[in-house]
């Protein structure tokens, strides 16, 4: 299985409708800056992620600067400026996994998927991410794909695991 590098973001077909919904959320919260995090959460739920075009729309509606919005979005790790793939691969980089090959596993996945950590493959199938500990330390290195835990994963198992998706 060969995957190609991700391409620049393209707006979803229902971009306008999604912005309308976000505008409704902002209005329902009276565009109050004290509700910004909640509004950004809701916007991410509607849009899937918070690209610059969405941040700038929210800034405009709330009459606050885009740099302020952008500062909040980049500060909190639960906000994403990149679209998420259909499946999220989370490689454990906790101590046990790191020591027993977690880094090699990440490198193998990066090479196989042709993406960096926190990026999504061009076909939108996988987002590669890292976690601290996923509770499978006894069989490190471990990774999760969505809700499934894979234990004792070595780089040579990557292809067969990913082919299930
Ligand atoms: S350190 Fe990886 S599962 Fe705990």
Ligand 1 pocket residue status of 94, Cβ below 6 Å: yes
State pLDDT tens for residues 97-145.
Answer: 999 999 999 999 999 999 999 888 989 899 999 988 999 999 999 999 9
Ligand 1 pocket residue status of 152, Cβ below 6 Å: no
- Position 8 scores a pLDDT of 55
Give Cα separations from 53 to 4, 14, 18, 36, 87 (angstroms): 25, 14, 12, 17, 24
Give 132 Cα–ligand 1 centroid separation in angstroms: 7
Tell me how crowded residue 23 is: count the other CB atoms within 10 A of its CB. Answer: 16
Query: How far apart are the two ends of the chain, measured CA to CA in Å?
Result: 11
Structure tokens at 153: 């994963």
pTM (predicted TM-score):
0.66
Helix (H, G, I), strand (E, B) or coil at 51: coil
Give 36 Cα–ligand 1 centroid separation in angstroms: 34
Query: Which region, left, alpha or beta, applies to residue 63 given φ > 0 means left and ψ of -120 to 50 means alpha?
Result: left
pLDDT tier at 13, thresholds 50, 70, 90: confident
Helix (H, G, I), strand (E, B) or coil at 86: coil
Q: What is the CATH number of domain 87-162?
A: 3.40.30.10
The protein residue with its alpha carbon nearest to ligand 1, atom 1, reads 94
């Amino acid at each position: 299985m060969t995957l190609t590098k991700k391409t620049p973001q393209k707006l979803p077909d229902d971009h306008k409708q999604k912005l309308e919904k976000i505008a409704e959320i902002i209005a329902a919260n009276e565009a109050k800056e004290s509700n910004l995090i909640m509004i950004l959460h809701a916007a991410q739920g509607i849009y899937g992620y918070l690209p610059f075009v969405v941040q700038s729309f929210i800034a405009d509606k709330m009459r606050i600067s885009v740099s302020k919005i952008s500062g909040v979005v980049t500060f909190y790790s639960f906000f994403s400026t990149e679209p998420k793939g259909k499946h999220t691969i989370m490689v454990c980089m906790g101590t046990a996994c790191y020591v027993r090959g977690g880094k090699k596993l990440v490198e193998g996945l990066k090479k196989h998927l042709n993406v960096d950590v926190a990026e999504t493959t061009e076909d939108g199938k996988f987002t590669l991410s890292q976690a601290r500990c996923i509770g499978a330390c006894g069989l490190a290195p471990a990774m999760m794909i969505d809700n499934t835990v894979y234990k004792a994963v070595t780089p040579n198992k990557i292809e067969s695991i990913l082919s299930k998706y």
